């Protein structure tokens, strides 16, 4: 007889007291709890391991050969994203250049060769929070192959099972081969061969440079955003630098080896060269795909599900805006470029998105100096501090703000107020307000109105260091996108309620069922008290109206320290629509219109703005004035 048996017999021989019965129940509960927490997941894991399977890359590519339809808000077809011939060339692992392979692994999954196919930290975060965790190459392949990118516990569990299974059944080389051939590099391409041809017009081979490899690897995370044709070279260069630094930090490239961003070698998108869509349609397509990608619907998922995207764009208004932009610019200097964005103030739905039809550059999503079109935000900041729109603001001709001197003649008089300054295009009073309030107050108020904190990872309304706010904020020197200007002015139109501008309303699957829908985000902007936020917005609106049904602010941004302008704006609204019009050029230069006068917001941009708003309000009760006041004569500086 063992000692343990003797102890058990002794225990059984003891009287059966309530305390002993309670402890037996506690032990039983503990055993059952342990079994449920450990046994059930293990059984579920084993069953899922036997049932679930990963499709081959060939099957995935075949499923991607489907058209995605984008529709206007009225249900009519806007455009179709049609797979291109020859953009899915399968590349065996042995033919993937080592530089590109290293660049992808360094960026997407530095532990790929050693891990078990999944990121334990990301999985744990998903189970604790219910949202997605980090994904390495194996997990990314599973998401792409299944078409399931939802941030749910169920998806993460299935991903864990399949990552374990595929890692046991296939070599790392096979997994990488499958992954690299089904991921999108943007521009409708899948796989490295198609990507190399689309961006550089070259065949994929060992002649690829480290700079080209870093560029292609950088596209994988968010191709609709990182493509320089969509976001510009400045953003694409930052993404490229991120990959370059990963390559050097992880020892793939020597720290002293010179690499240069290959922007000059990148070709224009094949979609436009092939004439499948016009330039302005291409801009919409890129903007919609970028928005969907951020919401968990990358192009591959849309294609696999043969999904239909319902946009917020109004067919008639979109055509009217294109016509107004083209008609007005055709008689102006050839270097003039333009953009129009119109937003529904109540919902944030973008009704018009015109990024220009002169090339692949999308001017609606390209930041431009806001100039004096920024002044309504300065006024709103003053109103939040207790200033009134009719309180005189002393503004000497020469003022110093944050170490910079500003000299503007007095065109408003001794009793100039924000209201009269806005109408007289007097810069001095707003610089004086900026000096009293401080740069942070101006920046914070503009953000509350709707200017985003960052655009493509770069802080807005900041110096190049991303932290300091310079004196240029007083005169709108910081560049802002027409999309964001329309959205921020829409907050004034909605009486102080801010929404998020968006181009996608719904996504439907092949059966027509809604699988994703935009959620309303309207809330008070300038104060938690909705009445206070409403008062601020109404006071701003009161300074922008001129006896008509619409509020309009025209403005311009100066070219350096010269008396000439490089950007001109017309931004305004009715309760039904907020519209921003920008006119400028591809580079920062002094611009004069067809009459030889310097570019101002109250001529070319205002003409376009009135044309767009008149067309949009044909059936509305509150119509904007058909004609505005005569152009303001700017005094010499």
Annotated catalytic residues are 108, 372
Measure the CA–CA gap between 484 and 461, rounded to whole angstroms: 12
H or E element, residue 498:
strand 497-498
As given in the structure block, the two tokens for residue 455 are 């655009």
As given in the structure block, the two tokens for residue 605 are 């941009």
Sign of the torsion formed by the C-alpha atoms of 226, 490, 550 and 503: positive
As given in the structure block, the two tokens for residue 520 are 């309303």
Measure the CA–CA gap between 258 and 29, rounded to whole angstroms: 65
Residue whose tokens read 């950088």? 218
Which residues lie below 8 Å from residue 495, measured CB to CB, with a gap of 6+? 533, 534, 537, 538
Measure the CA–CA gap between 391 and 143, rounded to whole angstroms: 60
- Distance from chain centroid for Cα 521: 16
Q: Which long-range contacts (CB under 8 A, 24 or more apart) does 291-298 make?
A: 291/502, 291/503, 291/504, 292/504, 292/507, 293/222, 293/223, 293/224, 293/225, 294/222, 294/225, 295/504, 295/516, 296/149, 296/150, 296/151, 296/516, 297/149, 297/507, 297/516, 298/149, 298/184, 298/224
Question: Minimal CA–CA distance to 579: which of 291, 384, 335, 325?
Answer: 325
Burial letters 118-150, b for 16+ CB under 10 A, else e: bbeebbebbeeeeebbebbbbbbbbbbbbbbbe
- Distance from chain centroid for Cα 125: 25
605 within 8 A of 572, measured Cβ to Cβ: no
Q: Torsion over CA of 225, 226, 227 and 231, rounded to 10 degrees? A: 60
Measure the CA–CA gap between 449 and 362, rounded to whole angstroms: 23
438 within 8 A of 432, measured Cβ to Cβ: no
Where helices occur in 93-232 by DSSP H, the ranges are 98-108, 120-129, 137-146, 153-169, 172-182, 192-200, 210-219, 223-226, 228-231
Question: Minimal CA–CA distance to 430: which of 374, 375, 390?
Answer: 375
HSE, side-chain direction, 13 A CA sphere, residue 550: 28
320 within 8 A of 616, measured Cβ to Cβ: yes
**Main-chain phi, psi angles of 81, to 5 degrees:** -90, 100
């Amino acid at each position: 007889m063992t000692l343990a048996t003797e102890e058990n017999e002794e225990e059984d021989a003891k009287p059966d007291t309530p305390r002993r019965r309670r402890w037996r129940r506690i032990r039983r509960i503990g055993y059952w709890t342990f079994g449920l927490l450990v046994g059930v997941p293990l059984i579920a894991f084993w069953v899922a391991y036997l049932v679930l399977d990963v499709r081959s890359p060939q099957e995935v590519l075949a499923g991607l050969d489907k058209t995605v339809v984008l529709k206007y808000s009225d249900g009519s077809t806007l455009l179709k994203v049609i797979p291109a011939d020859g953009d899915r060339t399968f590349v065996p692992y042995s033919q993937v250049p080592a530089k590109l392979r290293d660049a992808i692994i360094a960026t997407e999954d530095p532990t790929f060769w050693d891990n078990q196919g999944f990121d334990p930290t990301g999985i744990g975060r998903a189970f604790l929070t219910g949202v997605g965790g980090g994904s390495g190459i194996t997990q990314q392949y599973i998401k792409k192959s299944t078409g399931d990118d939802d941030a749910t516990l169920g998806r993460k569990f299935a991903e864990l099972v399949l990552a374990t299974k595929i890692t046991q059944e296939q070599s790392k080389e096979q997994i990488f081969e499958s992954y690299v051939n089904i991921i999108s590099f943007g521009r409708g391409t899948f796989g490295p061969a198609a990507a190399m041809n689309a961006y550089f017009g070259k065949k994929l081979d060992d002649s690829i440079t480290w700079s080209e490899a870093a560029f292609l690897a950088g596209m994988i995370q968010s191709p609709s955003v990182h493509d320089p044709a969509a976001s510009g070279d400045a953003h694409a260069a930052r993404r490229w630098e991120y990959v370059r630094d990963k390559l050097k930090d992880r020892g793939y490239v020597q720290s002293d080896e010179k690499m240069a961003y290959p922007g000059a070698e990148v070709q224009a998108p094949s979609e436009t060269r092939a004439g499948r869509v016009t330039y302005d349609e291409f801009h919409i397509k890129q903007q919609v795909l970028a928005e969907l990608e951020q919401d968990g619907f990358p192009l591959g998922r849309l294609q696999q599900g043969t999904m239909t995207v319902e946009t917020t764009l109004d067919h008639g208004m979109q055509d009217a805006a294109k016509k107004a932009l083209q008609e007005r610019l055709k008689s102006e200097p050839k270097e003039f470029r333009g953009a129009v964005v119109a937003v529904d103030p109540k919902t944030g739905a973008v009704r018009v998105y015109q990024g220009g039809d002169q090339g692949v550059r999308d001017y609606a999503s390209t930041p431009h100096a806001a100039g004096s079109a920024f002044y309504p935000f300065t006024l709103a900041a003053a109103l939040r501090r207790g200033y009134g729109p009719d309180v005189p603001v002393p503004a000497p001709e020469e003022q110093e703000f944050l170490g910079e001197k500003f000299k503007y003649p007095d065109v408003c008089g001794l009793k100039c107020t924000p209201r009269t300054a806005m109408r007289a295009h007097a810069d001095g009073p707003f610089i004086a307000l900026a000096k009293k309030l401080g740069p942070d107050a101006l920046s914070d108020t503009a953000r509350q109105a709707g200017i985003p904190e960052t655009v493509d990872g770069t802080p807005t309304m900041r110096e190049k260091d991303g932290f300091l706010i310079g004196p240029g904020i007083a005169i709108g020197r910081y560049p802002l996108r027409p999309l964001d200007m329309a959205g921020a002015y829409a907050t004034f139109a909605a009486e102080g309620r801010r929404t998020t501008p968006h181009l996608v309303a719904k996504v439907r699957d092949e059966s027509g069922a809604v699988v994703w829908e935009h959620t309303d985000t309207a809330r008070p902007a300038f104060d938690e008290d909705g009445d206070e936020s409403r008062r601020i917005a109404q006071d701003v609106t009161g300074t922008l109206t001129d006896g008509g049904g619409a509020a309009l602010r025209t403005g311009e941004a100066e070219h350096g320290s010269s008396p000439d302008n490089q950007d001109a704006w017309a931004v305004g609204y009715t309760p039904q629509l907020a519209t921003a019009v920008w006119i400028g050029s591809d580079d920062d230069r002094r611009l004069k219109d067809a009459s030889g006068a310097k570019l101002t917001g109250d001529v070319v941009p205002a003409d376009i703005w009135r044309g767009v708003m008149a067309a949009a309000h044909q059936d509305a009760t509150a119509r904007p004035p058909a004609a505005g006041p005569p152009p303001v004569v700017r005094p010499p500086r």
